[in-house]
Amino acid sequence: MYYGGDYNPEQFPPHVWEEDVVRMQEAGVTLVSLGIFAWSRIQPAEGKFDFEWLDRVIGLLHDGGIAVDLATATASPPPWAVQQYPDILPQDENGARYWPGSRQHYAPTSPSYRRLAAELVHAIAERYVNHPAVVMWHVNNEYACHLRHDYSDNAAAAFRQWLRAKYGDVGTLNEAWGNAFWSSLVTDFEQVHPPRKAPYSVNPAGLLDFKRFSSDALLELYTMERDILLSHGATQPITTNFMGAFAAADYWKWAPEIDIISDDSYPDPNDPEAFRTAAFTRDLMRSLGGQQPWILMEQAAGAVNWRPTNAPKAPGQMAALSMQAVGRGADGVMFFQWRQSRRGAEKFHSAMLPHAGTGTRTWREVAQLGADLKALGDVGGADGRARVALVFDWENWWAVEGSDHPVELDYGALVTRWYAALHRRHVMVDIVHPEGDLGGYSLVIAAQQYLVTDAAAANLRGFVERGGHLLVTAFSDVVDESDAFRDGGFTVALRDLLGAQVKEFGALVPPEFDASAPGERFAPFDGPFGSGTGTLLAEELDVVDAEVLAHFTEGRRSGDPALTRKRTGAGRAYYLATVPDEVTTGGLTAWLLAEAGVEPLVAGASEFVEVARRGDVLTVINHSAERTEVALAGTDVLTGDAVETLELDAYEWRMVRPR
């Protein structure tokens, strides 16, 4: 179990480094991520490297028994590099340049950036690849965190190259993008541009490809650095830190290139439900890594500095959120950052060692967690043994949130609404790609899966044939991978499986609109789970050969089908023709779990109690300020004591091997 944080010693004089190591030992630190933003310190000029200070820091850490996750330091190009090679700087969709003075001011496709980054990684790898302290490589940092897309001339050239590789000739591109529309037929790839500021909506298929390209361009940077490390004989695991469900990088595509998945996570202490979204991201990381252990690479010990208001974590909350990660498969709990910065933009961001020193609650909680993780020892493999899977797909995310649709949908919020309903019911969930392996699941939910490939449709069909329960919800199976309708309208790829076809979307007024806005806002419906409320869409369904389980009861769809079920092979496929509100999502979830025969991990616990399974261990966490009880017989993993009922104070956690 790794414990530690980002370590930025270049901000402090050498005598502080010595104190750092002593304090790290006191806090139970075992690993630090070193040098993430140290490029300008390591390389003061082109061709000139200063490793003397870094040698010393790594030596001190090693002597103190602290391992190093060594950064490639490429996340923030130094001022001299930008001065000499201004093409490093990225541009926004108006062609305006992003200037240096902050961080991440590089265009991923800039040849100068790539060359200089490669030289730096070669130099670092050459020097440290065999250093016994270095146990992991930390490539760059949070790719695309601040700059999701670059529209520079470098990007334009690389995008054209990417399109040439994908489509081969302009005829195929014109067909895929539907360029006959709005006089857009191109006769040369040079006529294609990134989706820069245009008078009106840009071509959605082009936009979708640009998002794919932008994710790929960053992934290319990652694999470039990784391959340099490997070329120097690196045997340590190589990682780069993800940011949960982050829109700009298709982590399904990235994950196979990464040895150990790592994630940065900053749930808002002001939001009493933030722990649920955090749980979703933990399950996403475990799922991206194929049920292998992952690392919580960054979190805050207390407050962050970048929200409009930055609450500190409540007493115990930092440990609760850390153990949530461990309970959901993490083999490391790390922080941004070790010692709080005295200067710069993040001087108000909390750290393991705060400005006020060791006489603080933050320090006591950090040291306590370090001791607990040490005492916990090996908690076994990361497999959550989930029987329920939620489909989550970046390509669909990019496509479903396109402009000019019947309603605006927030894909992340809609998927996590289903996740939250399952989480409240103490059910373990995996996150899956629509073309991913669905073997072993009893229930799969695909919410707003607007973009469906033929392969995904076949995969979902196979799941149902083998006995699975599949729920597909409104605005799914609308387009193919080029964002084009298939021949035959909507719900073509899944029509046989669902036994139903959508004829019309029936947009409703979004509930959050001004209350005086005219028009229908809700679509009530009745079914086997009780009555429910639909929002955003009330679709007109043509039921071909499915049972109708629920009908809309009011409004323009009154009497029409709202929920259908069709049996295929040993399983069932359900279609819900609306977007259920939160309460209805809960009712439907409970009913579906019963249909699919999925039991909760514990019975009768409060919805603010989280229960997660990792192999044969259950982690139980009270995320509320109220004391609560959970009936669970077994052995406490930390103390070895037998337990029957857990009494949990505010933010208290336990790990139990059930009897």
Catalytic residues: 142, 298
Binding mask 630-649 for ligand GAL (x = CB under 6 A): --------------------
**Cβ of residue 584: shortest distance to ligand GAL, in angstroms?**
35
Binding mask 161-190 for ligand GAL (x = CB under 6 A): ------------------------------
**Cβ of residue 36: shortest distance to ligand GAL, in angstroms?**
6
Residue partners of 6: CB distance under 8 A and separation at least 6 = 32, 33, 36, 298, 334, 335, 336, 337, 338
Pick 241 or 584: Cβ nearer ligand GAL:
241
Q: Which residue has the tokens 């998002």?
A: 211
**Cβ of residue 241: shortest distance to ligand GAL, in angstroms?**
6
Partners of 241 in the β-ladder: 262
Q: Which of positions 181-240 make contact with ligand GAL (CB under 6 A)? A: none
Binding mask 499-538 for ligand GAL (x = CB under 6 A): ----------------------------------------
CA pair distance 317, 313, nearest whole angstrom: 6
Pick 154 or 265: Cβ nearer ligand GAL:
265
364 touches 422 (CB < 8 A): no
Q: Which of positions 115-154 make contact with ligand GAL (CB under 6 A)? A: 141-142, 145
Give CA 8 to chain center in angstroms.
25
Give the residue, chosen from 304, 320, 330, 399, that forms a contact with ligand GAL under the rule CB under 6 A. 304
**Cβ of residue 6: shortest distance to ligand GAL, in angstroms?**
6
Identify whether 337 is preceded by a cis peptide bond (ω within 30 of 0): yes
264 binds ligand GAL (CB under 6 A): yes
Pick 118 or 145: Cβ nearer ligand GAL:
145
Give the residue, chosen from 266, 363, 450, 552, that forms a contact with ligand GAL under the rule CB under 6 A. 266
CA pair distance 177, 169, nearest whole angstrom: 13
- Name the residue number minimizing CB distance to ligand GAL: 336
Binding mask 326-345 for ligand GAL (x = CB under 6 A): ----------x---------
**Cβ of residue 347: shortest distance to ligand GAL, in angstroms?**
12
Pick 225 or 298: Cβ nearer ligand GAL:
298
552 binds ligand GAL (CB under 6 A): no
Q: What separation, in Å, do the N-terminal and C-terminal C-alpha atoms of the chain show? A: 25
Tokens of 436: 């991913």
# residues near ligand GAL by CB under 6 A: 10
327 touches 614 (CB < 8 A): yes
Sign of CA dihedral 22, 25, 31, 33: negative
Pick 218 or 592: Cβ nearer ligand GAL:
218
- Residue-level length of the chain: 659
- Which string of DSSP letters, residue by residue, matches 366-400? HHHHHHHHHHH----------SEEEE--HHHHHHH
Pick 9 or 436: Cβ nearer ligand GAL:
9
298 binds ligand GAL (CB under 6 A): yes
Pick 141 or 584: Cβ nearer ligand GAL:
141
Pick 230 or 303: Cβ nearer ligand GAL:
303
Sign of CA dihedral 227, 228, 233, 236: negative
268 touches 311 (CB < 8 A): yes
69 binds ligand GAL (CB under 6 A): no
Residue partners of 594: CB distance under 8 A and separation at least 6 = none
262 binds ligand GAL (CB under 6 A): no
Partners of 541 in the β-ladder: 502
**Cβ of residue 444: shortest distance to ligand GAL, in angstroms?**
32
**Cβ of residue 71: shortest distance to ligand GAL, in angstroms?**
10
Tokens of 588: 């439907």
Pick 261 or 414: Cβ nearer ligand GAL:
261
**Cβ of residue 281: shortest distance to ligand GAL, in angstroms?**
14
559 touches 552 (CB < 8 A): yes
**Widest CA span of the chain, in angstroms?**
77
CA pair distance 96, 91, nearest whole angstrom: 5
349 binds ligand GAL (CB under 6 A): yes
DSSP alpha helix (H) spans, 469-624: 495-498, 582-596
**Cβ of residue 90: shortest distance to ligand GAL, in angstroms?**
18
- Packed helices 204-231 and 153-167: angle between N→C axes, nearest 10 degrees: 100
Which residue, among 384, 299, 377, has the nearest Cα to 333 in the 3D structure?
299
Sites of contact with ligand GAL (CB under 6 A): 141-142, 145, 264, 266, 298, 304, 336, 346, 349
